[in-house]
Amino acid sequence: MPDALAAAQLRRLLLERFPVFGQLPGPQLERLLAEAQLLRVPAGGVLFDATQPCRGFPLVLEGGVRVAKFAPNGREILLYRVDPGQGCILSGGCLLGHSDYSARGIAEEDVTLLSVPPALFHQLMLEFEPFRRFVFGMYGERLAEVMELVEAVAFQRLDERLAQLLVHRGPVIEATHQKLADELGSVREIVSRLLRSFETRGWVKLERERITLLDPKSLAAHGRL
Amino acid sequence: MPDALAAAQLRRLLLERFPVFGQLPGPQLERLLAEAQLLRVPAGGVLFDATQPCRGFPLVLEGGVRVAKFAPNGREILLYRVDPGQGCILSGGCLLGHSDYSARGIAEEDVTLLSVPPALFHQLMLEFEPFRRFVFGMYGERLAEVMELVEAVAFQRLDERLAQLLVHRGPVIEATHQKLADELGSVREIVSRLLRSFETRGWVKLERERITLLDPKSLAAHGRL
DNA sequence: GCCGGTCTGTAACCTCAGTCACCTTCGATC
DNA sequence: GATCGAAGGTGACTGAGGTTACAGACCGGC
């Protein structure tokens, strides 16, 4: 595939995922497309980690990224997800010269991202107000999400949080019990046990790597309290 | 006291607490001092709450603010503290037009703050890069703090977190057990129980509204694990 | 002094959730 | 169809932490 075509596709994808760049003056957009690196990370790959310094500000084009904390004993808890159309503010904070965050970013599916070099990132932040707004907005959202998470972990029971998670993930969830446990910061056995209790109540149907919601209302009601 | 004197004092205090405004051009600094409202909130007062829309961006000059989540059953957990020289990014996020955060801000001591009106806040953010950096920096710090908190709540035992808290709060802590419980998101009885166990180990001395650290090293060692 | 509220100590009890151990089931691969 | 690893089921046990219910200690005001 000729480069010109690839470049045109990349531009379309970028603008589709990040409408904010639609307002960026032509020359700067060209520069962004020219200087940013297109990266692919296979599912399960590590995008960034506690120790690693960041080499750019990643804009996620395709695929989802899990940002999570890991305990030494192997347990983990999901802090938030970075979806296509979002950037990684941890790297942003890192680029702006703050303490590095000790969280890990894992590709949930195959991830395509555009890595904006530090110099260009800083220039965009300085000169392009909409981009600044965009980055600010993400910070705000993340902070709010993580604050909610603190509340949930501190005050809610695990069955409530699991019920919420199931409702949120839609009518059919394709995931192992281990994955769900990893989102909640718990362990497989407990999630299995709780799922079984949901099943005996007729709220869900359990199959290998698949959970089907039969009574979302009851689950939702169980979740919020 | 004549207004001119008060104004001079206010300027000095503002620049002392917020060195970032030292770089602000004279006329804009004057405008800031003229338009911003000086507010005082007595200890225990509510600075902002889930529902309340924010009427300005508060810069804390004196006193500390606790930002916490509250559970319906009366339990609470401290998310972070806003000290003199810091601003309330919740209000910032609110001013930048994001979803309002359902957290409450409580004056820990008597608080003096300067409330920057929305219009001026937006102008500063747009035109004054150092202020932007300052606000960004606070976002980054808060996010990092709250992410650490998630990890602590999810994976650490309460005695560990309590030990850390005690060490962090210095050699003599003047606080009720209830206050400590409120920071940790627990209840008084448990904190009392744990403190007693620390006491029998010779790590602390307990008195009414006072905890004296006798063996900070052991406490610290107990904390990180 | 007496009386109120606040702070603390403490015991009995209970529940949620984590750990351990082991087994079964399923699916892919040789 | 034998084998192996991943996924899931299940039970026994344990422990951390929350709840309830008091009682005593301290401190202020009257």
Question: Does pLDDT of A4 surpass 70?
Answer: no
Tell if A208 CB is < 7 Å from nucleic strand D: yes
Tell if A193 CB is < 7 Å from nucleic strand D: yes
Find out whether A111 and A119 touch, Cβ atoms under 8 Å.
no
If phi over 0 gives left and psi between -120 and 50 gives alpha, with beta otherwise, what is residue A5? Answer: alpha
User: CA of A24 and C1' of D19: distance in angstroms?
Assistant: 59
Nearest to B204, CA basis, from B191, B192, B215, B190: B215
pLDDT at position B162 is: 98
pLDDT at position B33 is: 94
B104-160 tens-digit pLDDT: 999 999 999 999 998 999 999 999 999 998 998 888 889 999 999 999 999 999 999
d(CA B90, CA B105): 9
Q: Which two tokens stand for residue B169?
A: 């709060």
pLDDT confidence bin for B204, thresholds 50/70/90: very high
Backbone angles phi, psi at A155, to 5 degrees: -120, -15
Find out whether B111 and B60 touch, Cβ atoms under 8 Å.
yes
Nearest to B139, CA basis, from A46, A123, A98, A11: A98
pLDDT at position A49 is: 84
Tell me what percent of the residues of chain B surpass a pLDDT of 90. Answer: 74
Helix axes A158-168, A177-184, angle to 10 degrees: 110
The listed range with the strongest mean pLDDT (A50-59, A133-142, B67-76) is B67-76
Average pLDDT over residues A163-171: 94
- Which residues have CB under 8 Å from B147's CB, separation 6+? A69, A79, A101, A103, A146
Nucleotides of D under 7 A from a protein CB: 6-12, 16-21, 26-27
Is the minimum CB–CB distance between A96 and chain B shorter than 8 Å? yes
Q: Which position has the higher pLDDT, B184 or B170?
A: B184
d(CA A27, CA A196): 58
Residues of B in contact with A132 (CB under 8 A): 132
A201-219 tens-digit pLDDT: 999 999 999 999 999 999 9
B18-52 tens-digit pLDDT: 999 999 999 999 999 999 999 999 999 998 887 66
Is the minimum CB–CB distance between B133 and chain A shorter than 8 Å? yes
Cα dihedral sign, A185-A223-A197-A166:
negative
User: CA of A74 and C1' of D11: distance in angstroms?
Assistant: 24
Q: What's the distance, CA B108 to chain centroid?
A: 8
Find out whether A107 and A45 touch, Cβ atoms under 8 Å.
yes
Tell if B209 CB is < 7 Å from nucleic strand C: yes
Average pLDDT over residues B159-179: 96
Residues of B in contact with A99 (CB under 8 A): 140-141, 144
Please give the sequence-ordered ranges of beta strands (E in DSSP) within A120-217, or none if there are none. 172-173, 204-207, 210-213
Distances (CA, A) of B186 to A102, A162, B66, B190, B210: 25, 22, 16, 7, 19
pLDDT at position A225 is: 63
Residues of A in contact with B139 (CB under 8 A): 93, 136, 139-140, 143
Residue burial B26-44, b: 16+ Cβ < 10 Å; e: rest = eebbeebbeebeeeebeee
Cβ pair B69:A132 closer than 8 A: no
Residues of A in contact with B147 (CB under 8 A): 69, 79, 101, 103, 146
Measure B15 CA to nearest chain A CA, in Å.
Answer: 23
Question: Does pLDDT of B1 surpass 60?
Answer: no
Residue A106: strand pairing partners: A46, A66
Q: Which two tokens stand for residue A90?
A: 């941890």
pLDDT at position A102 is: 79
> How many CB contacts within 8 angstroms connect chain A with chain B?
107
Helix (H, G, I), strand (E, B) or coil at A203: coil
pLDDT at position B203 is: 97
Helix (H, G, I), strand (E, B) or coil at A198: helix
Nearest to B154 among A77, A96, A151 (CB): A77
Distances (CA, A) of A83 to A18, A86, A130: 12, 6, 20
pLDDT at position A195 is: 97
Helix (H, G, I), strand (E, B) or coil at A23: helix
Backbone angles phi, psi at A20, to 5 degrees: -60, -30
With vertex at residue A120, the alpha carbon angle to CA A117 and CA A126, rounded to the nearest 5 degrees, is 140
- Of A4-13, A118-127, B165-174, minimum mean pLDDT range: A4-13
Find out whether B119 and B57 touch, Cβ atoms under 8 Å.
no
If phi over 0 gives left and psi between -120 and 50 gives alpha, with beta otherwise, what is residue B74? Answer: left
pLDDT at position A54 is: 75
pLDDT at position B100 is: 67
Per-position DSSP letters for B141-157, written without gaps between them: HHHHHHHHHHHHHHHS-
pLDDT at position A167 is: 97
Question: Does pLDDT of A70 surpass 90?
Answer: yes
Q: Which nucleotide is nearest to B200 (CA to C1')?
A: C9
A123: nearest CA partner in chain B? B129
d(CA B17, CA B14): 5
- Of A105-109, A196-200, B197-201, B210-214, minimum mean pLDDT range: A105-109
* pTM of the predicted model as reported, rounded to 2 decimal places: 0.93
pLDDT confidence bin for A98, thresholds 50/70/90: low
pLDDT at position A99 is: 64
Average pLDDT over residues A15-22: 96
Nearest to B209, CA basis, from B184, B186, B188, B187: B188
